Structure 1
Amino acid sequence: MSNDDKKETDDLFKEDLGEQQNDKVELKREVTLLGGISVIVGSMIGSGIFISPVGVLKNVGSIGVSLVVWLCCGIIATMGSLTYAELGTMIPKSGAEYPYLLEAFGPIPAFLFVWTSSIVLKPSAVGIIGLVFGEYLIRPFFSDCDEVPVTAIKMTGACCICLVTFINCHSIKIAQKLQIVFTVAKLGALGIIIIAGMYALGAGFTDNLQNSFKMEFELTTVGTALYQGLWAFDGWNQLNYITEELQNPYVNLPRAIMIGIPFVTAVYILTNMAYYAALVMPELLGSRAVAVTFGTKLLGVMGLIIPIGVAISTFGGVNGYTITAPRIIYTAARNGHTPDLLAMVSVKRLTPTPAILFNSFVAILLTLPNDFDSLVNYFSFAMWMFHGSSAAACLYLRWKRPDAPRPYKVPIFVPVLVVIFAIFLVVYPIVSKPAFEYLYAALFIACGLLFYFPLIHYKIKVPFSGPVTCFLQKVLMVVPTQEKQS
């Protein structure tokens, strides 16, 4: 459609809905400081802390070193988030990496991020957490079986994603309140684990921690251990995806980051100490659901609390990602980098309904053929390419635009270290253990250029895209929105 035809269609559609043509349809700033902290904490504390401890320990072979790895992951996440805080207050737009890469390096890197994150990275994160939700929720119903049926896990995970999608399409305010409630609930579950672990320490279960650095230590697999740990910390940048819906972002964005991430780091280390105090090495290394093994051994009949707590935690994780991830493709669509429909919001609900539905649809598709390990490897490898690029964007903008307003300014060594860590995390798996996933990730990212040049650069129109967009716009009752002014 031409711009004039598109404007005419939008105006007519507003009239059909009884809207005034001079009404301003835009996303509202409804996310408070508490809501922002809940988005960060609730997104980070999803499935990782209930699964990744085993992966970290298997790779380093030492409990003491594994705790150091967890601390390092917290430091890396903190430095990354502080770098994003500078970028987010300098460029106060939703979408995180997308507007930062667009501002610093131009449309091609920004488009490649949108292409990769919207098709694989963010939907796969939702899919992974949804699978863990399904496994933990239905595990008590299959207590007499050695394994929980895979089909049941995937169906339950898909139902979780669908329910969260409905909530987020209905209201960001309800989704925010739900995130706060589930964040408190998941912290309660982890609090039970920590308290039980401290009780075990007081009762004399200290063998693992006393000899924690005397075990065999595998230096060559530290990078893989960092991957597993950083998966549990993933979500540290989630608030940057909804900057335009955050109240007073210049103050609340860095403040939420500085409160949320150190808090999660402390919770993770204490939770790991609780696992190590209560479980012996064979139990730790032989358990995929380490939190359930912990609950069964220490809590007895009350151990059912743990799988319920994990299900609550992962549900909140799915909700957190569903709040934030669709804003990437929504922001890109406003710049013409994705279909026009994805830049539209519900006239009645003021939520980016098409972008939310697209993200959730892809997430459900990704849960069908894949398992946790392959998704984590793919997710971590590709995501850190863009984390490093965004930190490089921070450095580039410091040089290119030194006088630009920066309400929050991070010490220069922080983004430098983030770039170095990102390079290590991208190069290490290729050098240490080459695998098909990494080649596939690189090829997939490069394939985005096959869409960018004809559709974005040369603006070749896809046949029937105009009528299809108009039809879906009427079905979903959505219209284009204006960019939020800060």
Structure 2
Amino acid sequence: MKKISVYTAASIVIANMIGTGVFTSIGFQLNAIQNTWSILSLWAIGGLLSLFGAFAYAELGTHYKESGGDYIYLSRIFHPVLGYLSAWAGLTVGFSAPVALAAMAFTHYLSPVLGLSANHQSMAVGIVLLIGLLHSFTIKHSSRLQNISTLMKIGFIFILILIGWWYAAPTANALQWNNHWQKEMVQPGFAVSMVYVAFAYTGWNAAAYVVDEIENPHMSLPRALIGSTLFVTVVYILFQYVLLKHAAVAALKGREEVTFIAFNNILGTTGGKWVSAFIAIQLIATISSYLWVGPRVTWALAQENKLWRPVATKNKNGIPVAAVWLHVVIAIVLLLTGSFEKVLLYAGFILQLMATLTVATSLFTTPKPHPTFKSPLKPFLQIIFLLFNAWVLVFTLMDKPVESMTGIGILLAGLVLYFFDAPYKSQQKEATESQLPQ
């Protein structure tokens, strides 16, 4: 099977990270916090925590060198039930929900340009089906799609940042440089806003899920994870500043299409429509990256659990086609049945929880001799990551109980399924042991 380069691995990470969150989250954050220092701090803290997490995943990925990410690490270090739950969460929400959200945003941004209703769901379904099809052939096809779409994404967001910095701010804008941040940063709303940020940063660990498809993973994986996370952090902070600079709080607050609002103020109606069109186009890279990574986790689950065996197959080119299409179907169900903000919140809660558990596994691994990556300042950075994430999860549970309990309910459903699957696993283990020489 053809391996992917460090550049393709990095493009998977960048495309996973730069998706719907960076273009939509600030409107929801402004419901709770409005000081510019507070908002930019959110994105800086999110980037720093993602970097700490990237260190841990680079160590774990080069230690195990198996595709599957959280499923592999949690199963091998803690207990198979945690690995099972992480894969279940990834299948039902973690990887499928970002595809659904990106498809919703794709439709929301492109429909006005084409003169269609913003709720034109057939367009969202169509783009998910098309990208699922393109990921069903070879690694070469997937690499080309990912590299080209990610380059377009990077170029586009850089152009937006340059335009936003170049044009003068209107009199009425959302920039508030006062000391109110000192109060905002200790309120529950700040912690809840971190869920939106955490969702926007989701994907900093993406390359670890496909590690056995990467050339020279002991070098390429750390470079892809760490370099991409640092790059995206800088981009995110600059972009949020641009949005706040070019629109008032009242115009942005509670709105999903915040990027269109800000750039409509800069470029006028026609220019705003072009920006909307390009936002939609760059989301292709996001959908592509999640439909690449997610099925590899599901495939790893299917290898070791009989109930999932129908999706354990690969085509002659090493593509887990059945798993790809399972994710496509679930993403379509989510986009047809869920609202944007609710899906974002319960998906963000679950992803935050599973990443927290996985980073915890790195505290119990001893890196193998070279060429395994060793996380710097271990275990201090991991402990900071775990404590901060626990704080965010607790406050999210308190402030958004319905969405949080939805996420927990999804995990409980996976737990029931695991114990239903357990007898099959026991039978499989007994059959294997009976074949061993006595």
Q: TM-score, normalised by structure 2?
A: 0.90
Matches within 5 A, 1:90-101: 90-101=63-74
* 3-state secondary structure, aligned to 1:60: coil
- Does structure 1 retain, via aligned residues, the 8 Å contact 2:169–2:246? no
CA 210–365 in structure 1, closer or farther in 2 if over 3 Å, else same: closer
In structure 1, C-alpha distance between the alignment counterparts of 2:203 and 2:68, rounded to whole Å:
13
Q: Percent identity?
A: 24
- Does structure 1 retain, via aligned residues, the 8 Å contact 2:149–2:285? yes
CA deviations 1:345-377 (Å, max 9, x no partner) are 112x33110110111111111111101111111
Matches within 5 A, 1:428-447: 428-431=395-398, 433-447=399-413
Matches within 5 A, 1:396-407: 396-398=364-366, 407=372
Matches within 5 A, 1:350-361: 350-361=318-329
Which residue is 2:164 aligned to?
197
In structure 1, C-alpha distance between the alignment counterparts of 2:339 and 2:139, rounded to whole Å:
31
* 3-state secondary structure, aligned to 2:215: coil
Instruction: Please report how far the alpha carbon of residue 252 of structure 1 lies from its aligned counterpart in structure 2 after TM superposition.
Output: 0.3
Instruction: Please report how far the alpha carbon of residue 164 of structure 1 lies from its aligned counterpart in structure 2 after TM superposition.
Output: 0.4
Q: 1:225 aligns with which of 179, 187, 193?
A: 193
Q: 1:135 aligns with which of 90, 108, 114?
A: 108
CA 289–70 in structure 1, closer or farther in 2 if over 3 Å, else same: same
The code of the aligned residue for 1:407 comes to T
In structure 1, C-alpha distance between the alignment counterparts of 2:199 and 2:235, rounded to whole Å:
15
Q: TM-score, normalised by structure 1?
A: 0.82
Deviates more, 1:435-444 or 1:179-188: 435-444
CA deviations 1:19-54 (Å, max 9, x no partner) are xxxxxxxxx242111101110111111111110122
CA deviations 1:51-102 (Å, max 9, x no partner) are 0122223321212210111111111111111111110011111111000001
Q: How many residues align?
A: 421
The code of the aligned residue for 1:37 comes to A
CA deviations 1:332-357 (Å, max 9, x no partner) are 1122355222121112x331101101
What residue ranges of structure 2 are gaps of 5+ in the alignment? 428-438
In structure 1, C-alpha distance between the alignment counterparts of 2:374 and 2:170, rounded to whole Å:
45
CA 115–287 in structure 1, closer or farther in 2 if over 3 Å, else same: closer
The code of the aligned residue for 2:372 comes to P
Which residue is 1:474 aligned to?
none
Runs of 4+ off more than 6 Å: none
Larger radius of gyration: 1
The code of the aligned residue for 2:404 comes to Y
Instruction: Please report how far the alpha carbon of residue 409 of structure 1 lies from its aligned counterpart in structure 2 after TM superposition.
Output: 0.9
Instruction: Please report how far the alpha carbon of residue 426 of structure 1 lies from its aligned counterpart in structure 2 after TM superposition.
Output: 2.0
Which residue is 1:321 aligned to?
290
Matches within 5 A, 1:83-482: 83-142=56-115, 148-150=117-119, 152=120, 154-200=121-167, 203=168, 211-214=176-179, 218=184, 219-285=187-253, 287-300=255-268, 301-336=270-305, 338-347=307-316, 349-398=317-366, 407-410=372-375, 411-412=377-378, 413-431=380-398, 433-459=399-425
In structure 1, C-alpha distance between the alignment counterparts of 2:3 and 2:281, rounded to whole Å:
24
Instruction: Please report how far the alpha carbon of residue 441 of structure 1 lies from its aligned counterpart in structure 2 after TM superposition.
Output: 2.3
* 3-state secondary structure, aligned to 1:368: helix
In structure 1, C-alpha distance between the alignment counterparts of 2:358 and 2:153, rounded to whole Å:
30
Instruction: Please report how far the alpha carbon of residue 207 of structure 1 lies from its aligned counterpart in structure 2 after TM superposition.
Output: 7.6
CA 403–31 in structure 1, closer or farther in 2 if over 3 Å, else same: closer
In structure 2, C-alpha distance between the alignment counterparts of 1:204 and 1:131, rounded to whole Å:
30
Instruction: Please report how far the alpha carbon of residue 281 of structure 1 lies from its aligned counterpart in structure 2 after TM superposition.
Output: 2.5
CA deviations 1:131-177 (Å, max 9, x no partner) are 1111111122338xxxx342x1x221111110000000022222221
Instruction: Please report how far the alpha carbon of residue 214 of structure 1 lies from its aligned counterpart in structure 2 after TM superposition.
Output: 4.6
Report the RMSD for the aligned CA atoms in angstroms: 2.2
Which residue is 2:5 aligned to?
32
In structure 2, C-alpha distance between the alignment counterparts of 1:452 and 1:140, rounded to whole Å:
46
What residue ranges of structure 1 are gaps of 5+ in the alignment? 1-27, 462-486
- Does structure 2 retain, via aligned residues, the 8 Å contact 1:346–1:352? yes
CA deviations 1:436-462 (Å, max 9, x no partner) are 23223223312323222232344599x
- Does structure 1 retain, via aligned residues, the 8 Å contact 2:150–2:285? yes
- Does structure 1 retain, via aligned residues, the 8 Å contact 2:175–2:245? no
